[in-house]
Structure 1
Amino acid sequence: MPMKIDSVIARQRVDDLDAAIPFYERLTGRTADRFAFAAVQLASVGPFLLFSGPDEAVQRVAGVSATLTVADLAEAVDEAVAAGATVVMPAQPTPNGHRTVLRHPHGGVYEYVGP
């Protein structure tokens, strides 16, 4: 059975996270879930992942086009690689499961997250 992507999370760098959050909360009707990753401040608001921080810190986050959630991360990686994707960052644990970063054959870089 082919891999299924459960959701796509759009990533958006913002200059001022505190100023940006109310717009996205109003747009989505969802409350922001804030967290930090290294020196980057992030907020998950519905289908958006907002982030801000110093240029050198956000490069790790900004280089990824979107986050794709999948039910089976290992299967998704195997299928994507078999179809021509390359692994940029191998799977690693996170507080919410596991993540890996893949470069699709046409150049897009995506984070895959799943159990």
Structure 2
Amino acid sequence: MITSVIARQRVDDLDAAVPFYERLTGRTAERFAFAGVRLAAVGSFLLYSGPDEAVQRVAGVSATLTVGDLTAAVEAAVAAGATVVMPPQPTPNGHRAVVRHPEGGVYEYVGP
């Protein structure tokens, strides 16, 4: 069900950080904004920056898990003991849900 894991990293200066990650991964950054936060997806990294109050929503999530079927993945996680923090909803780059795993880790699930 999980097709990839994306590491999240807060950076002070998104524009200064992106070139390093582009060289490291050999990928071009895909930049976007969400809820007052500037983000750049570069390979298996999601870089983000912004004011403290805005990034708190992003910083509380351990990693992003890409899934082939968002609804099925959330249902499977709940059946295994997870709780839904934020139900599936549309975003600028697909759909997402936020799920707390039984041990307490909070993960963003993204997919169609």
Measured on the aligned residues, the alpha-carbon RMSD in Å equals: 0.8
Q: TM-score, normalised by structure 1?
A: 0.94
Which of the numbers 87, 93, 97 marks the counterpart of 1:96? 93
What is the distance in 2 between the residues matched to 1:98 and 1:106?
24
What is the distance in 1 between the residues matched to 2:68 and 2:36?
29
Q: Cα offset for 1:93?
A: 1.2
Partner of 1:60: 57
Partner of 2:9: 12
Which amino acid is the alignment partner of residue 62 of structure 1? A
Which amino acid is the alignment partner of residue 92 of structure 1? Q
Stretches of structure 2 lacking an aligned partner (at least 5 in a row): none
Which of the numbers 8, 28, 38 marks the counterpart of 1:31? 28
What is the distance in 2 between the residues matched to 1:37 and 1:96?
10
Q: Cα offset for 1:28?
A: 0.3
Q: Cα offset for 1:114?
A: 1.0
What is the distance in 2 between the residues matched to 1:43 and 1:97?
15
Aligned pairs, number: 112
Moved over 2 A (4+): none
Stretches of structure 1 lacking an aligned partner (at least 5 in a row): none
Partner of 1:77: 74
Q: Cα offset for 1:97?
A: 2.5
Q: TM-score, normalised by structure 2?
A: 0.97
What is the distance in 2 between the residues matched to 1:93 and 1:54?
23
Q: What's the CA shift string for 1:60-86, capped at 9, x where partnerless?
A: 111101110111111111110010100
> Is the 2:34–2:92 contact (alpha carbons within 8 Å) kept by the matching residues of 1?
no
Partner of 1:41: 38
